[in-house]
Structure 1
Amino acid sequence: MAIGDALNVRARAPLRLGLAGGGTDLSPYCNEYGGNVLNATIDRFAYAHLRANRIGALVLRARDVGEEEILDPSLDHPIREGLMLHRAVYTHMMRTYCDGVAVPLTMSTTIDVPAGSGLGASSALVVALIEAFRYALRLPLGPYDVARLAFEIERVHLGLAGGRQDQYSAAFGGVNFLEFLTDDRVIVNPLRIRREHLNEFEASLVICFSGQSRRSDSIIKEQVAGLNKMDEKTLIHMHELKQDAIEMKLALLRGDIRRTAEILGHSWASKKATAAGISNQTVDQLYDAAMAAGAWAGKVSGAGGGGFMMFLTDPENSYQLIQALNEAGGQASAVKFTFEGAEGWPISA
């Protein structure tokens, strides 16, 4: 399928909070036991912009980190260097959907949060890039197809460590209970939460950037190593994380926010036991400051080691909690849920 000279499209994909069950979407755990994850997309996004250019080059830009590459249009460039996510998506799309022709393009991206945020930003970026090509080429790809392709590009083609939840949350959007089955199937179950329950949950939620970006690779590799050895302690805590996702789903459907907070706290304790480095001095200080300011419970979002944290509190206390976290060195705010997944649209000249 051809890309026209008038190409000018944009796409976005939402970032997510990992509420419960994170880590059970990792191989080999989910391949043998199946995994359950509860997450929710929020009002932070990864954006991708594709447009034709007249300089006959492949221009790759990650504007939020100030990186740019200008390359000859080719499918022979190594994909595991430079702006590797951009390179890998471009190479796959050209080979699969453009008859192997390397079309000159400009690919620009931005993300609303710093790298290493724990909000699934890298996967959302890949989903946004794929969605931009899907829209531009009018490809018959549904959200399952987009998510699966993003997973294959990140985890298989590029060999980046990580699980499966991020790609599916970015492609589908909303509050979802995800099932990762032992036959490599994924089922996305959107939760039909009563509006008043969802409003109360959103009003009770505070997120906080720790000020530390982190690389999740080492933490994930340690978790996987424990699973490969079938380490009994790691397995016990992974089973607990899986059960927490089920219990939190039920609590949210009932609108029991205090029970949701209890599960959040239990999940944080179980998660810290699966690998070293999930918590650190900065995370602990922010957690202690939040608890002293009336938070019911909290945990990091994502693999750990920094990035964003989330806390639940009485909505009447959320302002004071945000102030306390900011005074402790964090960057705290309220947050809103989003319910649309990846979407593309045209940009007029």
Structure 2
Amino acid sequence: MKDHFKDLVVKHDQPVVDAIAAIERGPTQIALVVDAENVLVGVLTNGDIRRFLVGGGQTSTPVHECMNRKFHALPHGTSREELLKLFDIGYNAVPLLDELGKLVEFATPDFFPPAKEVAVLSRARAPVRISFSGGGTDLTYYFMKNGGVVLNASIALYAHATLIPSAGPEINVISHDIDRHEHYPSLRALLDNPDKGLLSSVVSVIRPDFGFDLFVHSDFPVGSGLGGSSAVATSVVAAFNELRLDKWSTYEIAELAFQAERLCYAISGGWQDQYASAFGGFNLIEFDGKRNLVHSLRLEPATSNELEECLVLCNTGIEHNSGKIHKQQREDFNNNVDRSQQLLDMVDLCRRMHKHLIRGDLNDFGTSLHEAWTIKHGLSSAISGNTLDTIYKAALDAGASGGKLLGAGGGGFFLFYVQPRFRSAVSAALKAHGCTLSTIRFEQEGVTSWRTKVA
């Protein structure tokens, strides 16, 4: 039994005089009577004692001879709301009992049994992005010398992370997307593993001081070109961030995700994906050797709504390896293969598309996607291929104003801009080539995290 009410408790066979002493010790003027098993069998108030003594009772008589057996008690765990209502209608104390009737707590208006702290888990979800222009200029080896800029938007497809802390040091990392389960007896074992997956690479950057189970799943296929691996890394960073007292900023979340994915897990690529996933919404992102800056764009609702209606997301079903393509592009750069003009053209196009977008000139914006495709097509032979070129040509022949491969290229998703009168024809042409189509819904929020109780 709890210390705060132990002085109010008397055994049923103790004398009445002991109950009087217990009543005097407590502010509620109530004695609690229990049997040998600590089951609450009655209560005594000053009024009960007075009536007993006036009737000829003796202070040496056992308490059970005069106790009140008709008392109001509630199960331990009764909600605060229910107790408040009882006190508000006049009760000044309520015993709380376990399933055997044993006294566990004694609730009064100025003391409520503290709620037992339960285990919590954290969840996070991070959106993927569609990139309109500027891809390639967000690569460090390029923008350190020339500066870079990209234009992108997050969409309502997410990577989901669930983090369940545990009392012990063991770590379990489970990716449902690739059906991979990594188990480590400790953080040290994870850090020493040379074959860590992406999720464990994120953990190695964060280095938490507790054991946990981490579960991740996504709304999009692997190799989509939507920046999926970055969304996964961002969601995991945010799940850990939710448990911190000193939260990382959105920039820091993006940087940690970049560190884990690009440096620790060694997937070659640029910076835009992590920022897009962390910040969300429409962004113009500028890169240089010192500070990357994310400029959030405020579009007229009519502009974003119309853009959603005119864009078609096309899954080619062709897997691609963005890291391999980026690696080849870097080798070309190191071998002095001159792509500078294409990248300068990409920056110029990105600036123009930014202006089209914020002014709501969507037809010009859609046509500019074709320019983005043409420029990107010239960056590497691995970006496109016969099948992808055929799919793209079929969409334009059917009426699409423009389009581009998302991500590094080589497969994954196309993005097409299609005016309403051509949508049916374009859809039919793409489906005829085995593509799967979906609409786009923009996501204005970036990575989101929250806590909940472990069931």
TM surpasses 0.5:
yes
Quick check: 2:177–2:222 contact (8 Å CA) kept in 1? no
Matched with 1:117 is: 224
Tell me, yes or no, if structure 1 residue 26 matches structure 2 residue 139. yes
- Of stretches 149-158 and 336-345 in structure 1, the one that deviates more from structure 2 is 149-158
Map of 1:307 onto structure 2 = 412
Write the distance in 2 (CA, Å) between the matches of 1:344 and 1:169. 16
Shift of 1:223: 1.6
Gaps of 5+ in 2: 1-116
If the length of structure 1 is used for normalisation, what is the TM-score? Answer: 0.91
Q: Which residue of 2 aligns with 1:257?
A: 362
Equivalent in the alignment of 1:6: 119
Correspondence for 2:199: 86
Which letter does structure 2 place at the counterpart of 1:173?
G
Tell me the residue number matched to 1:225.
Answer: 331
Tell me, in whole angstroms, the C-alpha distance in 1 between the residues paired with 2:405 and 2:419: 19
Contact 1:79 1:87 in 2 (8 A): no
Contact 2:170 2:187 in 1 (8 A): no
1:174 maps to which residue?
281
- Please list, as runs of the form range in 1=range in 2, the aligned pairs for 1:319-338 lying within 5 A after superposition: 319-338=424-443
Letter in 2 for 1:246: R
CA contact (8 A) 2:161 2:215 kept: yes
Distance (Å, rounded) in 2 between the aligned partners of 1:317 and 1:346: 46
Q: What is the aligned counterpart of 1:160 among 267, 278, 287?
A: 267
SS of the aligned residue for 1:159 comes to coil
Distance of 1:125 and 1:40 partners within structure 2:
17
**4+ residue runs of structure 1 moved beyond 3 angstroms?**
53-56
Q: Is the 8 A contact 1:227 1:235 kept in 2?
A: no
Once the two structures are TM-superposed, the CA of residue 79 in structure 1 deviates from its matched residue by 5.3
Contact kept? 1:79, 1:158, Cα under 8 Å: no
Question: What letter is aligned with 1:104?
Answer: G
Q: Which amino acid aligns with 1:156?
A: L
Equivalent residue letter for 1:30:
F
1:290 aligned to which of 386, 395, 399: 395
**Could you report, residue by residue, the CA deviation over 1:310-330 in whole angstroms, capped at 9, with x for unpaired residues?**
000103433442333222201
Q: Does 1:41 align with 2:148?
A: no
Instruction: Answer whether contact 1:20 1:267 (CA < 8 A) is retained.
Output: yes
Displacement of 1:139 in angstroms is 3.4
Counterpart of 1:237, as a letter, is Q
Match of 2:246 in 1: 139
Q: 1:62 aligns with which of 164, 168, 175?
A: 175
Query: What is the identity percentage for the equivalent residue pairs of Structure 1 and Structure 2?
Result: 34
TM-score by length of 2: 0.71
Alignment of 1:201-216 (within 5 A): 201-216=307-322
The answer for the alignment partner of 1:188 in structure 2 is 294
Answer 1 or 2: higher relative contact order, Cα 8 Å, separation at least 6.
1
Write the distance in 2 (CA, Å) between the matches of 1:242 and 1:191. Answer: 18
- Residue 279 of structure 1 aligns with which residue? 384
Give the 3-state SS of the residue equivalent to 1:275 in structure 2.
coil
Aligned residue in 2 for 1:248: 353
Cα distance change on mapping 1:334 and 1:316 into 2, 3 Å: farther
Once residues 140 and 334 of structure 2 are traced to their aligned partners in structure 1, the CA distance between those partners, rounded to angstroms, is 9
2:185 equivalent to 1:72? yes
- Is the Cα–Cα contact under 8 Å of residues 201 and 257 in structure 1 kept in the other structure? yes
CA distance in 1, matches of 2:145, 2:138: 11
SS at match of 1:347: strand
Larger-gyration structure (1/2): 2
How many residue pairs get aligned? The number is 337
Alpha-carbon contact 1:7-1:50 (below 8 Å) kept: no
- What is the alpha-carbon distance in structure 2 between the residues aligned to residue 244 and residue 206 of structure 1? 21
Structure 1 residue ranges without an equivalent (≥5): none
More off after superposition, 45-54 vs 59-68: 45-54
Determine if the alignment matches structure 1 residue 239 to structure 2 residue 239. Answer: no
Worse overlay, 207-216 or 217-226: 217-226
Contact between 2:151 and 2:285, CA under 8 Å: does it hold in 1?
yes
Give SS of 2:308's match.
helix
Q: Deviations over 1:220-279 (max 9, x none)?
A: 1222223334433x1110111111111100011121112112211111111111111101
296-305 or 216-225, larger mean C-alpha shift: 216-225
